[in-house]
Amino acid sequence: MTRANSTIDNQILLRILKLMETKGVRQKDLAEYLGITDSSLTQWKSNRTRSYMNYLDKIATYLNVDREYLLHGNGEEFTDDFSLSKKERQLVNQIRMLEKPQQDNIYKVVNLFIDSCATGKSKR
């Protein structure tokens, strides 16, 4: 592998790792989704293997990003059919960084708020 290819591969890996951190994705969860061992991901991080290149499509799907984003840093980070504003993306990313019980509490509070807004409108 040439030095240029190695640099490109490292940039891809850095994007994957940054997305995992931003979205609060645990190494063991991604490994389980990919059907590989947790130690395989550790090897990626230590540059002992570049086997992650074989999983780019699945990684992109799991991280909810465009494959082009992983490869080149271009394209949309979110691949949903709807577009999110910058504030909405920030909020989603912040929620994803929380532990599951904290996320559940936020969902409860938001649902209570939405219900109270709907109730308030129906009383008018």
Contact, 31 vs 37, CB < 8 A? Answer: yes
Task: Tell me, yes or no, whether 8 and 19 share the same domain.
Answer: yes
* DSSP secondary structure of 82-93: S---HHHHHHHH
Question: Same domain for 13 and 66?
Answer: yes
- Are residues 104 and 57 both part of a single domain? no
Q: Is the domain of 69 the same as that of 107?
A: no
- Helix and strand numbers, DSSP H then E, in the chain: 7, 0
Maximum separation of any 2 CA atoms in the chain, in Å: 69
CATH number at residue 74: 1.10.260.40
Is the domain of 88 the same as that of 29? no
Q: Collapse the DSSP code of 32 into the 3-class scheme (helix H, G, I; strand E, B; otherwise coil) and give the result.
A: helix
Domain that holds residue 101: 84-124
Q: What is the pLDDT along the chain (124 residues), one digit of tens a residue?
A: 444 456 667 888 999 999 988 888 889 899 998 999 999 989 988 888 888 889 998 998 888 888 888 988 876 665 554 566 778 777 877 887 788 899 899 999 999 999 899 887 655 5
